[in-house]
Structures are given as structure tokens and as C-alpha cells.
Chains A and B, each alone.
Chain A
Amino acid sequence: MKAYFGRRYAVSASHRLHSEALNAEQNRAAYGKCNNPHGHGHNYAVEVLVGGAVNPETGMVVDLVALDRVVGERVLDRFDHANLNLDPVFTDRIPTTENFCRTIFALLKDALPGGELEHVRVEETENNFFECFREG
């Protein structure tokens, strides 16, 4: 029987939205306050949803401790209390929450200790969030 297990994590990080393809004025127009030269930060909430058969022996889709370890190693250790712009993955792409969400999905997709990654949601503030689903 297929069920889904969801887990939420906290990531506090800074970023600056600035495109090299745009001039200073265009950057300000596109990104507004998010283009501030010295950056700014958020308390992101990262929600990971894992789908799969419920193991009849444990009653679980995925082991929580093992999932925490993988997310900790691949995502939290890397991005929590970091400047996203300085991470190699963002050298050629802008650390919008769309791209952050897609990055997290890619980092976790083949590394889960069980089940399949169904979706990743990244909440940038209480009022906006971004989701990336398995289908693409």
C-alpha cells in the first residue's frame, strides 16, 4: 500500500538576486529589494515528501532517522547558515527560491534511504513558497 511521509526542515541562509545578464537598473527593476548589493536572508522551511510502499514490518515508508541523515548531509550542512550565492551550484544560476527548490530536489532525488522523492517545497517566508514535483 502506497503512502507518503513528509518532513519539514529549517534552513537559514542569505542570498542576493542579481543577474549578470541585466544592467544595474534592470536588476533593480526585476528584483527590487532582493537586489540589495549586500544581500539579505530568510528562514526557509524545506518540506520533503517521500512516497512508497508501507513496510509491513515497520509500518513506515522511510526511516525518519535515515532520512534526516541524508537531508542533513546533502542539504542542511551545505546551505544552513550559508550565503547561497557563494555555493558552486549558484555560480551560473540565480539563487531564487525556484532554483533553490530545484537544487534541493536534484540533491535528494537519488540519495533517499527508501521510497521515492515525490516533492520538495521551499517556503521562503510565511507568504510565499515554491514546489518541485517528481514529474519535472
Chain B
Amino acid sequence: MTRQRTLPAYWVLAALLGVMVGCGERSSDTPVPEAVREALVGAVVVDRVAHTFPDLDGVTIPPNLCPVNFVVEEPGGRYIGRLAAPGGVPIEVMSDTSAIVWPSADWRRLVEANRGRRLTLQIAVEGADGRWQRFSDASVTVSSDAVDRYLVYRTVGKANQAFKTIGVHQRDLQRYDRTTLLHSKALGRGCMNCHTFANGDPSTMVMHVRAKPSGGMMLIRDGKISRVDTRSRFNPTPAKYVSMHPNSKLVAFAESKLVLFEHSIGQGDDVFDAKSDLGLYLFDTNTVTTTPAICTKERQETFPWWSPDGRHLYFSSAPVLPPKRWKEVRYDLMRIGYNAETNTWGTLETVLSADETGKSITRPRVSPDGKFLLFCMSAYGSFPVWQKDADLYMMDLGSGKRWSAEVNSSETESWHSWSSNGRWVVFSSRRRDGVLTKLYLSHVDKKGRMSKPFVLPQKDPTFYGRFLYMFSLPEFAAKPVPFTEQQMVDTLKSSKAIEAGLDPKVPPRVSAKELSREPATTPEIE
């Protein structure tokens, strides 16, 4: 009882402190502009751009993005950030810490007023001797192309062996709000992955969940949420690596057997795909189907992705090799025609062969206008996220010309996704620390050239400096996911899974007895 009575006192105290801190943000005997002006006028000029995280010099940002706060990575006692542009009032921040946090309303006004123009970023740092140093101006371009408002992504622990800290979240890019769509904690223990929706619209969405006692494919459709057991006598293991067809009536998926292994140096973890084939799950008929061309015994096929017109399914394909030859596995980039109206398959084509590139080609993603293909290449295998040499490559689908994406670094680049207008790409990279993947955004121009990327902004720019999780599987969304975590958990825990049937035209691979409907307990590897 007593404890309950005192709790509000703590809240009041916290609120009081909050008010004091809030007031303190602007506390200074000298009005900020005047202090800034004085500091900048008298400052010693340093002939280089200040080191900041994120590195903002030369980046292009969407006009509807939340403020890109940053940390000045220069020694000092006080810091000034000043953002000016041809239109609007400059924003000036003087801070006692190296974190520069822009006032949101001022940022919005300034950025909105300067679509298609450049902003000038001035940074000054006060040294221990009380003298200010002013660094060369940095330049930030505001694109006239907006980005989708939401980003759905996953955070996961680096080891990810206990499957207790995996979460799929939805981030509002215009603000900093993050909503957790589903977290393993809500299920006790489990793994969630492979969320996909067509054309950036999560009104129709699937997400895979592996948890006891009630995993499966969560299907959001027509305002309802249901749980589907995608296993059939063709695919005795659940679907993974899903891609929603643009008609929102089916998904392509891979059925894979992934084996973990480890290295004694460098990035410790690695994955070998021992077996994989592709199939489709048709929502209306609750049926799994496929064609022999994408589920051969001699080759393994994975990472399906639909072209925006839905007429081609792109995927990666490699000859089946024994595990001891893991380093020799290189995937070709293929595509096959498909007619969703008639559920008939077209011609199989090689888009780009591993023989030609000398590398393994994975995770094809076609731009929404169908002009470009963004994919990953790494030395071997199907798991670029664990390979330091993994880079993104762009292909002009009209000319067949391809090039290393301008965003690549000396560290891993992977998990890429297009915005619904095709002008932005989000991808994961280890460039910051060599260990934990973070999400980066980059503008793509009409020629498929990508601008210098910047890390997903956070309200507290020091956030990444202490966050020990990895970001993966980013997907842009124009609208928020229409269900809450509780609704998803309720569906998983209380609803009976809809058991998928197998298309009678597809020969079964396992007997009805061999097809276990027990919950899949081996969590997915991502």
C-alpha cells in the first residue's frame, strides 16, 4: 500500500526534472543566435569538414524525414550546429555535449522550404582553452522525392541463439516513433522474419513466426489476420524468404535447410544452404504450387522476388554441392515468367551468371518502375550478411549494364529494399563498427545512381553508440501495419492454423505420414 502511495511522488519528481531539463535545453544567459554569431565570427577556421556521426557532408535526404540529429566527433566543451539554406530561417543549436539535436518544427519548416536545394551545415567546437574552432561547411541536399512514411525492420542480437530478443518494429520516418509489431518476448521465445507486403502497402502482409506452440505464416488480408501452416507434401518445412506478388493474392517462398557454422577469425558466424527450392502459396485457394523449373534436385533455388508487373519471378540458383565445398557455392541470378491470372509458368532465363561475375549473386530486388535490379554479390554462398566482402550491385534491366552501387563500403552491405516511388533504397551495413548492422538510406536518381548514404536517424544521436543489436530486413511501407502486437500474439496463441494444401499437379515429395504438423521449433536463421 505504502509503495503504491509513494510511486506517484516519483512520477511528479520525474516530471519536475523533465520540465527543468526541458527549460535547460535553451538555458543560456546569452540568446542562442547571438552566442552562435559571436562564436562563429571569432572562431579559428579549420580547413576540413568536422567529423560527425552520421556523416552528413554530401548526403541527400528526403523532404519528409525527421530531423537528422548527429554527434560531433571532435573534442570540445561546447558545440554549435547551424543549418542554413536559401529559403527559410536557419536553425542554430548550441550544446554542452557533442550531440546536436534539431528542434523538430524548425527542421520541418526549413527542409520543406528547400526541396531540391542544398542546406549548409556549419559546425563549431569550443576547445578547452575557450577558443572556438569553425570547421569547413558541410552540404546536405534536400531531395524533392519523398520517402515512404514507415519502415518495417527487425532488430536481433548478434548471437541470436536463445531467440529471446528478436523484434519486428515499425518506424515512423517523419518522427522517431517506433512501434513493436512483434517481439519474441511476447511469445516467450521465438523467431520472426520475412515480413513482406506488395507495393509498400501492409494492408496485405505476411510475416513468418517460429515459436512453440503456435508459429506459422501470419497473413494479414482484407482487414483480417490469420495463421497459416504453409507446410505441404512438397515442402515439409515452413516457407521462408517470401515475396508478395503485386496482385496481393499470393507469395513466392523458399523452402530451405540452413546449417550454421563458424569461423575462427573475422565475423564468426556463417550459414550453408544445404537444400532449397521455390514454391508459391495462393491465398484464395490455400494451395502450395510450384513448377519443376524452380525446384530441381540438381540445383538449389532461393530468394524469390517478383518484378513490379508480377510477370517475372527473380531468384538465385546454384548447383547443389556437398557441405565440405561450401566455399565453392556460387549462385546465378535467374528469372522465370509467370501468369498470375492462369497460374501458368513461362520461360526460365539466366539474368546474370556466377561464372561471369566470379561471385555469388543473391537477393534480387527490382525497382518499382521495373528499370533497375539491385542485388548482392559476395565471394560464396547465400548469406551475404555475414560476409565482409558482400556489396550491392545495380543493373539497368534495359541495357543489362551493371555496376557496383555507389553506397558500398569496405564492410558488409546487404538486406536492401526499394521505396514505393523507387527513389530511395534502405539497406543494412556494418560500415560503422565492422560488427553490428545498421540501416542506411540512400537516394536513387533516374539513372540508378545512389547518393551517399546516411544511417537511419534517431532522436538521440548517441543511440547507436551504445545499442548492441543488429538491424535487418528493412521494408518501406506507405501505411502503418493495421494490427497491433497484441492482436498478432492473440492470433498466434489462440487461432488454429489454416493448413495449406498441395496443388494436385505438383508431385508430393513426402508421404502424409512424414509431413509433421508439429510446430516448427528450429528458429529461422537470418
Query: Does A pair with B?
Result: no
